[in-house]
Amino acid sequence: MNARVTPPPADRDARRAANLRTAAVLGSIAAVFFGGIVAAQYTGGTTVGMVVIGFAIVGFLAVAIGRNVRR
């Protein structure tokens, strides 16, 4: 017997908002990594790409930690 339980609309909206935030963060990480690779190819050195990726990681960690500290 399959009983299908649907969550209340507020719960669905909160889950959807959380999923969209997660998708935005992951998409922006991918975009920054891609930008770092393009910058490294454009300048001809690997240092630029590594610096961009390093700043991206530190920046995203700061944002993630800052969001949780505020609450």
Domains of the chain by residue range: 45-71
Tokens of 42: 């454009």
47 within 8 A of 39, measured Cβ to Cβ: no
Is pTM beyond 0.85 here? no
Compute how many other C-beta atoms are within 10 angstroms of the C-beta atom of residue 32: 17
- pLDDT tens digits, 27-57: 887 887 787 778 777 887 767 777 877 887 8
**Which residue, among 61, 1, 67, has the nearest Cα to 32 in the 3D structure?**
61
pLDDT of residue 2: 67
pLDDT of residue 12: 79
Output the CA torsion sign for 21, 23, 19, 66.
Answer: negative
